[in-house]
Amino acid sequence: DGGITQSPKYLFRKEGQNVTLSCEQNLNHDAMYWYRQDPGQGLRLIYYSQIVNDFQKGDIAEGYSVSREKKESFPLTVTSAQKNPTAFYLCASSILGQGPPWRYGYTFGSGTRLTVV
């Protein structure tokens, strides 16, 4: 079955350490996104990518980096510059194309819970 796979499910980061969250999709979607969810807040966009080798900053990109070397993969690195990284990280994908592709919404992965120890 097609879907989005995020790994790991739980991740613990030490102070000053960079960690990378994996996101892979086999839906043949063009666009991929990373969101962060904190308790009591809506999802906030970190980065998004609409084509391979191109990506755009979202609202809270500071302290994060991404790459999009393949259509299927959009890994997120949480760097030591991110001062408060403890959160639930969600990767999503969507189709792009002519007409209103946004009507189809996003498909989300099952998320990664990152905790600083």
Among the listed residues 1, 83, 84, 103, the single contact to other proteins using CB under 8 A = 103
Please provide residue 90's backbone torsions phi and psi, each rounded to the nearest 5 degrees: -120, 130
- When asked if residue 105 is in the footprint of other proteins (CB under 8 A), the reply is yes
- When asked if residue 109 is in the footprint of other proteins (CB under 8 A), the reply is yes
Closer of 16 and 97 to other proteins (Cβ): 97
Cα separation, 57 vs 27, whole angstroms: 23
- When asked if residue 22 is in the footprint of other proteins (CB under 8 A), the reply is no
Structure tokens at 42: 């809506």
Cα separation, 37 vs 29, whole angstroms: 22
Among the listed residues 43, 52, 60, 61, the single contact to other proteins using CB under 8 A = 43
- When asked if residue 42 is in the footprint of other proteins (CB under 8 A), the reply is yes
Cα separation, 26 vs 73, whole angstroms: 9
- What does DSSP assign to residue 98? S
Binding site for other proteins (CB under 8 A): 31, 33, 35, 40-45, 48, 50, 88, 90, 94, 96, 100-111, 113
